[in-house]
Amino acid sequence: MDPSYLTTKEVADLLRVRERKVYDMVAAGEIPHRKVTGKLLFPQSEITAWIEGEGAVRPALRPGVVTGSHDPLLDWALRESGSALATLWNGSTAGLDAWCRGEAAMAGLHIPGEHDWNTETLEARGLGDAVLIGWASRVRGLILAPQVADMVRDFADLRGRRVILRQEGAGTSALFARLMAEAGLDAADLSTVPAPAHTESDAALAVAAGEAEATLGIEAMARQFRLVFRPLLRERFDLLVDRRAYFTEPVQKLVGFMRSESVAAKAVALGGYDTSGMGKVRWLSP
């Protein structure tokens, strides 16, 4: 049986051209291909259709869905802009995976890297037809119940405290694990709530309701629930957008709304946001 995916050499042999020509066609976007862990693969069914048709097969238009990490300002802007984009807040890593499978037009990301947020992870994935748009930087720290505020001044003071975590694959989970290591803590040092929080608001709500004494959250949520906040760092929250989806009406409504005074005012009201880089291109796929 023929393989589902062809190598560069197999495509070159099929087309009776040199491999260098195939690379040139890939760079020009003239031939269907995938890039997986830095290696080029060519779906045989699409190559056959491309040969028998009139050029490269256009990928199916992505659904109007925003996935990935939850951000209160973005959540509000999606509604206020009239974009009609649906949301599925499932965490940065799960959202990136869904985006890579073509299940969403956009994904909200805040994945810590060695030197930058998000870009290092995207480069390692070898994505195509992708652009990373800056959304905002956010102040992240410890959201605390008032009764423990005087006893928790920094991350290491979480020892012995009841903490609600975020779901596996969330950007906050990766950051939490890094901060745990830096503070010399391990899982046995914490008393964790059995069910993780799936959004920033759910995490803060659990503290406000008394289910937990602390969580790693953003300043905007601490303000909303009138909880004590201990700032630790600034993080970048960006939007990964499919290039073709970028020019669709729903996404363009959001992009246009980014430039409005309403967004800037809302960011100030929520607190902890810096929107000076909103809408700027932070990364482009090769």
The residues, any chain, with a CB within 8 Å of residue 201's CB and separated by 6 or more, are: 70, 72, 221, 224
pLDDT per position as a tens digit, 59-102: 567 899 999 999 999 999 999 999 999 999 999 999 999 999 99
Comparing CA positions, the residue from 142, 78, 140, 141 lying closest to residue 108 is 78
Pairwise pLDDT comparison (59 vs 182), residue with the higher score: 182
CATH topology match: 5-52 vs 65-138+235-284: no
pLDDT per position as a tens digit, 223-267: 999 999 999 999 999 999 998 899 899 999 999 999 899 999 999
Confirm or reject CATH 1.10.150 for domain 5-52, answering yes or no: no
Q: Is the predicted pLDDT of residue 2 greater than 60, yes or no?
A: no
pLDDT per position as a tens digit, 250-261: 999 999 999 899
SS3 at position 197? strand
What share of the chain has pLDDT > 90, as a percent?
77
Q: Is the predicted pLDDT of residue 39 greater than 70, yes or no?
A: yes
The token duo for 23 is: 């690379």
The token duo for 183 is: 């503070």
CATH code: domain 142-227 is 3.40.190.10
Give me the pLDDT at residue 195, please: 93
pLDDT per position as a tens digit, 124-141: 988 888 999 999 999 999
User: Architecture of domain 65-138+235-284 in CATH?
Assistant: 3-Layer(aba) Sandwich (3.40)
Q: Is the predicted pLDDT of residue 147 greater than 80, yes or no?
A: yes
Alpha helices by DSSP H, 143-286: 171-183, 200-208, 219-224, 243-246, 249-258, 261-270
143 bridge partner residues: 215, 229
pLDDT per position as a tens digit, 104-115: 999 999 999 999
274 bridge partner residues: 137
Q: What is the strand order of the sheet 5-6 is part of?
A: 5-6, 39-43, 34-36
- Structural domain spans, the chain: 5-52, 65-138+235-284, 142-227
Pairwise pLDDT comparison (92 vs 54), residue with the higher score: 92
Is the pTM higher than 0.85? The answer reads no
